[in-house]
Amino acid sequence: MFESLTDRLNQVFTQLRRRGKLSEADVDAALREVRLALLDADVHYSVVKKFTAGVRERAVGAEVSRALNPAQQVIKIVHEELISTLGEPERLNLTGEKPRVIMLVGLQGSGKTTAAAKLARLLRSQGERVLLAAADPYRPAAVQQLVTLGGTVGVEVFTDSRLNPPELVQKAYEQGIKGGYSILIADTAGRSQMDDTLMDELKAITRKVKPADILLVVDSMVGQEALHIAEGFRDTVTLTGLILTKMDGDARGGAAISIRSVTGVPIKFLGVGEGIDALEVYDPRRLASRILGMGDVIGLIEKAEAAFDLEGTQNQAARMMSGKFSLEDFAAQMKQIRKMGPISQIFDMLPGNLGKVAQQVSPQDAEKQLKLTEAIISSMTREERREPDILNASRRRRIARGSGVDVQDVNRVMKNFREAQKLMKTLQKTGGRGLPKIFG
Ligand code: GDP
């Protein structure tokens, strides 16, 4: 997915490398791809429409930052808009008298019981005294499952097959007070369908114990249907949050955008596996990257920008403009590149021709080369770094010995340095406008 969206955007943009601003036609072409990607990720079409309109408004006429190519610029805007659509992370409402009740609702098979145990484990690790209530008396297997999971996470489970769900939660609540528990997690009954009996039961529970949180557990794999489910539960009880489960599966969680955007209910947790520790506190940035199927791309885009904006770069630029680019600057540049992360990832990120050229070099070789260059430069005296012209044959031999390499390696580094220096001169002449050519 990442490859296809990024590649598709890159293709769209090959014709328009760095014209300075994104035109309407450019943006529309890019948004066609974004729209397809979102529909593909199961986002409801009405949400896609609203979303792309928002992106369009921001993107048309936007300056393309020097650190990014146009495709990356669009991805960045899409990602930011997605984060704002997904909403700020919200925590549990853990206030009020103890035990605070967290009620989990959802359809059968959504991962509700698993989520109850995961949540119990998480809260327990945060120092809470947690009691679980198995309020699903119609399915003995579900009760047994919670008892087993409770045992795994070291949390007591309240059960009583003679009671109906509202009575059971009430009793568990009383037990919670007596036992000095700070949190009661109620795993309510799940049916395969939303029906009146289920909804009445849920309402009855909320009347008895006044939950601090009512979390809807939704299977992210159900796609569009999730929106319908969320609306159904929201109309019955006051949902305070969502737990999206099975985010480790194929579904990229496009349903999350739809639910959040249409119902306004905040996402609080993601279930990311069957294991009892596979619960993530919701983070909109991560989820947005995931929905776009772009993994770490966003992180790298940000790193590229940050590296580009570094104060050091500005100082270097100032020196470059004054016609000086020393080996010290060269070494600082190397360091910046390394700061951006593993070189193989950076290669993938490089725009245009530079990316293609870079891909012909193996990451291991490049990494080795960077290290070698650093070692060689650090074996030089301060004077040599500032005035590379004084590096005659005997000095080069000394440096080679000092850094444990051959003289040829020193010569190669010097050649690379001279090329970088030439490049800087070009930039100096064009006032930075030479950059598009290098990246184009
Ligand atoms: P309930 O009927 O809503 O209580 O659902 P369960 O908690 O019994 O979960 C149904 C199935 O989904 C079980 O096989 C769980 O192991 C599985 N499951 C629950 N959450 C996740 C998750 O986040 N990822 C994956 N891969 N499986 C999950």
275 lines ligand 1 (CB under 6 A): no
Taking phi first (over 0 means left), then psi (-120 to 50 degrees means alpha), and beta for anything else, what does residue 57 get? Answer: alpha
Distance 276 CA to ligand 1 centre (A): 10
Please indicate whether residue 139, judged by its CB atom, sits closer than 6 Å to ligand 1: no
Shortest-distance Cα residue to atom 19 of ligand 1? 111
What's the pLDDT score for residue 16? 53
Q: Is 248 annotated as a binding residue?
A: yes
pLDDT at position 371: 81
Q: Is the CB of 108 under 6 A from ligand 1?
A: yes
CB contact burial 333-368 (16+ within 10 A = b; e otherwise): bbebebebbebebbbbbbbbeebeebeeeebeebee
pLDDT tens-digit readout, 240-295: 999 999 988 766 667 778 888 888 899 999 998 999 999 999 988 888 877 776 55
Q: Give the largest Cα separation in the chain, rounded.
A: 93
d(CA 185, CA 188): 9
DSSP letter string, 337-365: HHHT--HHHHHHH--HHHHHHHHTS-HHH
Decide which of 296 and 223 is more confident.
223
| Distances, alpha carbon 149 to alpha carbons 134, 157, 380, 409, in Å | 11, 9, 62, 61
pLDDT over 50 at 223, yes or no: yes
State the distance from the centre of ligand 1 to the C-alpha of 190, rounded, in angstroms: 12
Give the position, in ligand 1's atom list, of the atom nearest the Cα of 273: 24
* pLDDT classification of 129: cutoffs 50, 70, 90: very high
Question: Which of the listed CATH numbers 3.30.360.10, 1.10.260.30, 3.30.70.2740, 1.20.1250.20 matches domain 310-439?
Answer: 1.10.260.30
Yes or no: say if 386 and 401 are a contact pair by the CB < 8 Å rule.
no
β-pairing, 267-271 vs 279-281, is: antiparallel
HEC string for 137-163: CCCHHHHHHHHHHHHHHCCEEECCCCC
pLDDT confidence of residue 291: 72
246 C-beta closer than 6 A to ligand 1: yes
Q: Could you tell me if 133 and 218 are in contact, meaning their C-beta atoms sit under 8 angstroms apart? A: no
Pocket test for ligand 1, best of 105, 114, 152 (most atoms within 8 A of CB): 114
Highest mean pLDDT among 239-248, 290-299, 334-343: 239-248
pLDDT, residue 387, reads: 86
pTM score over 0.80: no
Q: Which of 78-92, 289-303, 376-390 has the lowest mean pLDDT?
A: 289-303
| pLDDT of the residue at 193 | 80
Extract long-range pairs of 59-62: CB within 8 Å, 24+ residues apart.
59/22, 59/27, 59/30, 59/31, 60/22, 60/23, 60/24, 60/27, 61/21, 61/22, 61/23, 62/21, 62/22
Q: Please state the domain extents for the chain.
A: 2-86, 100-282, 310-439
Percent of the chain with pLDDT over 90: 38
3-state helix, strand, coil in the chain (%, to 5): 60, 10, 30
Token pair of 149 as six digits: 């999971």
Helix runs in 87-209, H state only: 112-125, 140-153, 165-179, 196-209
Residue 15 pLDDT greater than 80, yes or no: no
185 confidence band (pLDDT: 50, 70, 90): very high
Q: Is 34 in the pocket of ligand 1 (CB under 6 A)?
A: no
Residue 438, pLDDT above cutoff 50: no
The answer to whether 194 touches 107, Cβ cutoff 8 Å, is yes
pLDDT band for position 158 (cuts 50, 70, 90): very high
Number of neighbours of residue 233 by Cβ within 10 angstroms: 24
- Using an 8 Å Cβ cutoff, are 322 and 372 in contact? no
Which residues touch 96 (CB under 8 Å, ≥6 apart)? Answer: 212
**Cα–Cα dist 15/412, whole Å:** 35
Please tell me which residue, 40 or 407, carries the higher pLDDT value: 407
CATH of domain 100-282: 3.40.50.300
Which atom of ligand 1 approaches the CA of 271 most closely? Answer: 23
The reply to whether ligand 1 has any atom less than 6 angstroms from the CB of 396 is no
State mean pLDDT over 85-101: 90
Which is the CATH superfamily of the domain at 2-86? SRP54, nucleotide-binding domain (1.20.120.140)
Instruction: Among 179-188, 215-224, 255-264, name the one with the lowest average pLDDT.
Output: 255-264
How far apart CA 240 and CA 214 sit, in angstroms, is 5
ipTM for the whole complex: 0.99
Q: How high is the pLDDT of residue 306?
A: 63
Higher pLDDT, 322 or 138: 138
**N- to C-terminal Cα distance for the chain?**
24
Distance from Cα 287 to the centre of ligand 1, integer Å: 20
Residue 201: the pLDDT is 93
pLDDT at 355: 46
pLDDT reported for residue 207: 95
Whether 2-86 and 310-439 share one fold: the answer is no
**Stretch 156-178: mean pLDDT, rounded?**
95
Residue 374: its pLDDT value, please? 84
- pLDDT (0 to 100) of residue 60: 84
Comparing 330 with 132, which gets the higher pLDDT? 132
Indicate the pLDDT class of residue 150, thresholds 50, 70 and 90: very high
CB 349 within 8 A of CB 297: yes
Residues 411-427 have pLDDT tens digits of 988 888 887 777 666 65
Under 8 Å between Cβ of 370 and 350: no
Q: Is the CB–ligand 1 distance for residue 272 below 6 Å?
A: yes
* Residue 436: pLDDT band with limits 50, 70, 90: very low
Are 275 and 153 in contact by the 8 Å Cβ rule? The answer is no
pLDDT the model gives residue 195? 86
In this model, does residue 4 exceed pLDDT 50?
no
Say if residue 122's pLDDT is above 50: yes
The protein residue with its alpha carbon nearest to ligand 1, atom 20, reads 111
CA 224 to centroid of ligand 1, rounded, Å: 19
- On whether 313 is known to bind a ligand per the annotation, the reply is no
Q: What pLDDT, on the 0 to 100 scale, is given for residue 111?
A: 95
Plot region of 180 (φ>0 → left; ψ -120 to 50 → alpha; else → beta): left
